[in-house]
Amino acid sequence: MDEGLRQNVRQRAGHRCEYCRMPESATPFVPFHAEHIIAQQHMGTDEADNLALACDRCNAYKGTNLASVDPETGEVTRLFHPRNDLWNVHFVIEPDGKIIGRTDVGRTTARLLMMNAPARVRLRCELSSDELNG
């Protein structure tokens, strides 16, 4: 992937993870990734509309998954798609720093990507709401 495209993905995302909304500036020593929303293994392309900026943790837990199991219903459910879905429709950040799924897609994605692992919730709490939402 060329550097220009990677920079475009970064800017389009406002320099924050498109899954958990962590700003890149919060983890200066752990680079974010321009990840494939649909993995190449599943015929995803290198085009900008199949790329999303993801923090190291979201990228690692998502891997090549397209779907997982909704922890509430047990149903196989697709993951959040940053290009097609609106974050605020599927997730909300609670005052205690936890990210709660508002929909089946949100619950499934928050669980698979371990968005509420204790260290991640702690880091989120240390950020101002401007840094998280801005």
C-alpha 70/C-alpha 4 separation (Å) is: 36
Looking at the Cβ atoms of 38 and 114, the one nearer to Zn ion is 114
The footprint of Zn ion on this chain (CB under 5 A) covers a number of residues equal to 5
Quote the longest CA-to-CA distance of the chain. 42
User: Shortest approach of Zn ion to residue 53 CB, angstroms?
Assistant: 9
Tokens 């397209």 belong to which residue?
Answer: 66
Measure the CA–CA gap between 24 and 53, rounded to whole angstroms.
Answer: 9
Helix (H) or strand (E) holding 19: none
CB of 57 to Zn ion, least distance (A): 6
* 3-state DSSP assignment of residue 92: strand
* Measured distance CA(25)–CA(16) in Å, rounded: 8
CB of 11 to Zn ion, least distance (A): 17
20 binds Zn ion (CB under 5 A): yes
Contact set for Zn ion, span 90-119 (CB under 5 A): none
Nearest CA to 92 out of 71, 72, 107 is that of 107
The residue (of 17 and 34) whose beta carbon lies closer to Zn ion is: 17
The residue among 73 and 118 lying less far from Zn ion, judged by its C-beta, is: 118
Of 5-13, 51-59, 74-82, 92-100, the segment contacting Zn ion by CB under 5 A is 51-59
Shortest Å distance, C-beta 40 to Zn ion? 20
By CB under 5 A, name the binding residues for Zn ion. 17, 19-20, 55, 58
